[in-house]
Amino acid sequence: MNWGNKLVLAFVAFVALMATLVYKSMNTKFELVSKDYYKDELKYQDKIDATSAAAKLGEVSITTIADSVQISFPKELENSIINGSVWFYCNTDEKKDRHIDFARVTNNKFLIPTSQLSKANYQAKISYAVNNNHYYSEKQITIQ
């Protein structure tokens, strides 16, 4: 094999490698946390304020009990009406994400059936309000 054939073979190998890389890069999925990332970023100070207010108030706990997920709010809110939402964010697959609203929680506990959630590791983003005071908390939970 002379040097001309080796040069053509090296060029064909290079083109095949580049074509493979382009094909793989075109078929890679990129999932963002939010479709409106920049709009959400502008509201981030509200989340910081709500997080610090929640830290002063008390700890929100989230546990799995039998076939449900229980969210327990701080005892300071025992006689208050709690409204808000929980976003179960799965960082590996956006199809498993669930957004659940709740209203008028009066016994400091909110139950969510695990049948509404897929088996995965979630970051539960809990946003709630009591008497126009906003609170925010994040907890890790695994649904099995």
Q: CA-to-CA distance for 135 and 54, rounded, in angstroms?
A: 5
pLDDT of residue 80: 86
Q: Where are the domains of the chain?
A: 1-30, 37-143
Q: Which strands make up the sheet holding 98-105, listed edge to edge? A: 98-105, 82-89, 120-130, 133-143
Distance CA 87, CA 85 (A): 7
pLDDT at 65: 87
Give how far Cα 1 sits from Cα of 6, 8, 13, 15, Å.
Answer: 7, 11, 16, 20
C-alpha to C-alpha distance for 44 and 49, rounded to whole angstroms: 9
CATH superfamily of 37-143: Immunoglobulins (2.60.40.10)
The neighbouring-strand residues paired with 65 are 68
Q: Check residue 32 and give its pLDDT.
A: 67
Residue 44: what pLDDT? 86
pLDDT per residue of the chain (144 residues) written in tens, 0 to 9: 899 999 999 999 999 999 999 999 999 877 666 777 778 777 888 899 999 999 998 889 999 988 899 999 998 888 888 999 999 999 888 889 999 999 887 788 889 999 999 999 999 999 999 988 999 999 999 998
Distance CA 59, CA 137 (A): 8
